[in-house]
Structure 1
Amino acid sequence: MTGTADTTSRSLLRFATAGSVDDGKSTLVGRLLYDTKSVLADQIEAVERASVDKGMSTPDLSLLVDGLRAEREQGITIDVAYRYFGTPTREFVLADTPGHVQYTRNTVTGASTAELAVLLVDARNGVVSQTRRHAAVLSLLRVPRLVLAINKIDLIEYDQAKIADIEREFTELTRSLGFTDDAVQVIPVSALVGDNVAFRSDNTPWYTGPTLLEHLESVPVDGPDIAAPFRMPVQYVIRPRNGAESRSADASLGDLHDYRGYAGQVASGTVRPGDEVVVLPEGHRTTVSEVRTADGPLAAAGAGLSVTVLLADDIDAPRGALIAAASDVPEVTSEIDATLCWLAEKPLLPGARLLLKHGTRTTQVIVGTLGSRLDTERVSYAAAPEKLEINDIGRVSLRVADPLPVDSYARVRTTGGFLLIDPPTGNTLAAGLVGDPLAAVPAAG
Structure 2
Amino acid sequence: MRRDATGGENPHDFGRGTRLGARLAFGAVILIATLSPWRFEADLGQVLEELRRALSPSLSPRDLVDGVRNVALFAGWGAVWFATAESVRIWRVVLVAGATGAALSLLVEVAQLLSPPRTASVLDVITNSAGALGGAMLAALALAWVGSAWGGRSLVGVPAALLAVPYACAAMLEALIPLFRQETLAWGGPLPRLRAALAHFQAGPALSFPLLDLPLFFPAGALAVAALVERGRSYRAAAITVALAGAVLWGFLEVAGATVGQPIEPLAAVAHALGVAAGAAAAALWLPKLTTRLHGSRRAFALLAAYAAVLALWSWRPFVPELTISAIRTELSPARLVPLRAHAERVDLFSVVDISALFLLYLPLGALLAVWPLRRRGPFRQLLPALYLAMLLETGQILIAERFFDITDILVQSAGAAAGWLVVRRAGFAPYGEALAAAAPRRR
Q: TM-score, normalised by structure 2?
A: 0.26
Considering only CA atoms, is the larger Rg found in Structure 1 or Structure 2?
Answer: 1
Q: Which has the higher strand share?
A: 1
TM-score, scaled relative to structure 1: 0.26
